[in-house]
Chains A and B, each alone.
Chain A
Amino acid sequence: MAAIALTGLTKDYPGGVRALDGLELDVADGEFFALLGPSGCGKTTILRTIAGLEEATAGTVVIGGDDVTRLPPGRRDVAMVFQDYALFPHMTVTDNVAYPLRIRKVPTAERRGRAAETAGQLGLTKQLDRRPGQLSGGQQQRVALARAMACHPRVFLFDEPLSNLDARMRLEARTFLKRLQRELAVTTVFVTHDQAEALALADRIAVLSDGRVRQVGTPTEVFRRPANTFVASFIGSTPMNLLPGTVTAGARVLVGDAALPAPVGEIAPGTPVVYGIRPEYLRLTPTAGEDTVTGEITVVENLGSTQLLTLEGPAGTVQVVVPEDSEAAPGAPLHVVPRADRALLYRPDGDGELLTNCPTPGGAAPGA
């Protein structure tokens, strides 16, 4: 059991590419922690630096109070599950799972017993004598997990653990992984580019871009209150609508021709802002009003139980999630009302930070 602390972590690759830039990150003991970001944001580099496969250019990696920055990977007491699982194709499941123990010179009989036991916990008893090539994707993933568990590490590191599974298996494996992590209570860091996976699995999420942490928080915090426009557009199955507007009197924001209620707080009227509202928090209304966004439907996407409509209007392009039974057709005009207590205001320049005097959504919103 161990907490992880990354301090001032910098990683320069030969050729002048800076993958990480003075990164600060703390992972609590026993936490299920997600590193989330688009490809090339440095999330895998962080994981590999914790594992010791990459050496940090500057900064320290501390695991369970021990500075491991300069230790080779094998002496950090971590286990890593690779994206392709990296199961050794010429070994049986038992030998794969027992491999870490073989390196630690555990006698053959004992390590076989322990491997069988661990594999049994993950429901692999029938597959013990098979080779990885004879297993399904889900079974291979469980073998990789069993191998990581077999050496009882202080930290698990998962690199895109679910990305090699098909869509249905992925949901199953997600639930399985979460339960397993709860039971083992081993500090776990995993990398993903899938925001839904991060929201579903993690206790806390670090959203990254360009080697920097853009926000760290629980899934609820990151979803409800993205700290900047990058996080706002990255998190959520459909990206948040980010509409340029101006604060006007009466705690409203003028977006196009609509004056929308918003948590304006202390912001002076006339200040340009970005008005953020998720497509799920826009509601259809039959009549146009002062606080409705109006537009013409250009695209209808069926999402099963809901529909995603794209509107073009004076406010710009707005996406709305509506119930499945709404009779929306391209070309028809549409009026939608935002839920005022879910609206967020961002700075239009710089990193697009959340304007600090916004109250926490979900509480009493003054603009509502």
Chain B
Amino acid sequence: MSPRELLGRVGRYTLLSLVLAFFALPLLWLATAPFDRTPEIAASWPEFTLDNVRELLDNENALRSLRNSVLLAGGTCALVVTLSALAAYALSRVRLPGRDGLLYALLLLSSIVTGTAAMVPLFNLAYELDLIDSRLGVILVLTGGLLPSAIFILKDFTDATPVSYEESARVFGASPLQIVRHLVVPLIRPGLATIGVWSVAQVWGNFLIPFLLLRSPEKSPAAVVMYTFYTEGGQPDLALISTFSLLYSLPVVLMFLFVSSRYGFRFHGGIKR
């Protein structure tokens, strides 16, 4: 190896290390602060304690909010996966004039639906429909916002499923529902898993919609409740926040690992035969 190559290599790894450190340091804080007797805003060597965890477990708001998060994420995920699978399958099989245009328009508009721009009309709509302070309202709004992207991703999977599979099953007498159950769903399973995890993660981290649409603290999800962790003095309760952050991020990471090992993530269709 020439000195020049060596130098290049050293430079490359130095750069990589810096980038890595930039992203890793906040995570380091997440690993140390929850177990520190006096957590600060910077990562430091902790004076080990489990008191923070105990305090968190005593805080009934915290645990209830995690349960709310699970309810919201689960409900949205179920709706998004079911509806987007049916829509994507239909869109890739039925000839519809202006189908692609429709899909792109939906995709464009979806960023508005869950974005800040549409907050006032969304709030009004939820108010008129009597969906304020209802978990269903939050689930429906989030579902609406996630569906277009989900359909867009899944349609790539359904497009890649040969029509001859379905025709073959039809000749054997399979009903449309049987075809979906026996063939389409198993064939696009990686896509469904991806959509499922993605929608859970989206809902889990969403603050704005539940913050606006839910009134009572008993229904608020973790992302909103975390916002309320202050000490009596009005300072952010770093001990509680850091411990809760750790607890809050664990389920998503675990789900991600589980689904990834079981189904594998893919954002494109294509059948491995």
Which A residues are within 8 Å of any B CB, using their own CB?
Answer: 51-53, 72-76, 78-80, 82-84, 86, 88-90, 99-100, 102-104, 132-133, 151
Looking across the interface, which residue of chain B has its beta carbon closest to that of A101? B172
CA distance A73 to B179 in the complex (A): 14
CB distance from B163 to the nearest CB of A (A): 9
B21: Cβ under 8 A from any A Cβ: no
Interface residues on B, range: 20 to 34
Contacts of B162 in A (CB 8 A): 84, 86
Contact B174 A103, beta carbon cutoff 8 Å: yes
B272: Cβ under 8 A from any A Cβ: yes
Contact B173 A90, beta carbon cutoff 8 Å: no
Contact A100 B273, beta carbon cutoff 8 Å: no
CA distance A100 to B171 in the complex (A): 9
Most buried by A among B172, B174, B187: B172
Most buried by B among A76, A78, A83, A99: A99
- Using A86-B164, A90-B186, A133-B272 as known contacts, say yes or no to A78 and B171 having CB atoms under 8 A apart: yes
Contact B168 A86, beta carbon cutoff 8 Å: yes
Contact B173 A103, beta carbon cutoff 8 Å: yes
Looking across the interface, which residue of chain B has its beta carbon closest to that of A80? B171
Option from A80, A88, A100, A132 in Cβ contact (under 8 Å) with B183: A88
- Using A84-B164, A86-B165 as known contacts, say yes or no to A99 and B172 having CB atoms under 8 A apart: yes
Contacts of A151 in B (CB 8 A): 172
Contact B167 A53, beta carbon cutoff 8 Å: yes
CA distance A104 to B173 in the complex (A): 8
B141: Cβ under 8 A from any A Cβ: no
Q: Mark B189-216, 1 if CB is under 8 A from A, else 0.
A: 0000000000000000000000000000
Closest 9 CB pairs of A and B: A74-B173, A86-B168, A86-B164, A100-B172, A133-B273, A82-B164, A90-B186, A89-B273, A80-B171
CA distance A139 to B182 in the complex (A): 23
Given A52-B170, A82-B164, A82-B168, 9 new contacts (CB under 8 A):
A53-B167, A74-B172, A79-B171, A82-B167, A88-B182, A89-B187, A100-B172, A102-B182, A132-B273
Contacts of A89 in B (CB 8 A): 187, 271-273
CA distance A50 to B230 in the complex (A): 74
Contact A86 B172, beta carbon cutoff 8 Å: no
Option from B170, B182, B272 in Cβ contact (under 8 Å) with A53: B170
B178: Cβ under 8 A from any A Cβ: yes
CA distance A83 to B168 in the complex (A): 11
Contacts of B167 in A (CB 8 A): 53, 73, 80, 82, 86
B169: Cβ under 8 A from any A Cβ: yes
CA distance A132 to B168 in the complex (A): 15
CA distance A90 to B172 in the complex (A): 18
Contact B164 A79, beta carbon cutoff 8 Å: no
CA distance A51 to B162 in the complex (A): 18
Contact A80 B168, beta carbon cutoff 8 Å: yes
Contact A99 B273, beta carbon cutoff 8 Å: no
Q: List 24 A-B contacts (CB under 8 A).
A: A52-B171, A53-B167, A74-B174, A78-B171, A79-B172, A80-B167, A80-B171, A82-B167, A82-B168, A84-B164, A86-B167, A86-B168, A88-B165, A88-B183, A89-B273, A90-B187, A100-B173, A102-B182, A103-B172, A103-B173, A103-B174, A132-B273, A133-B272, A133-B273
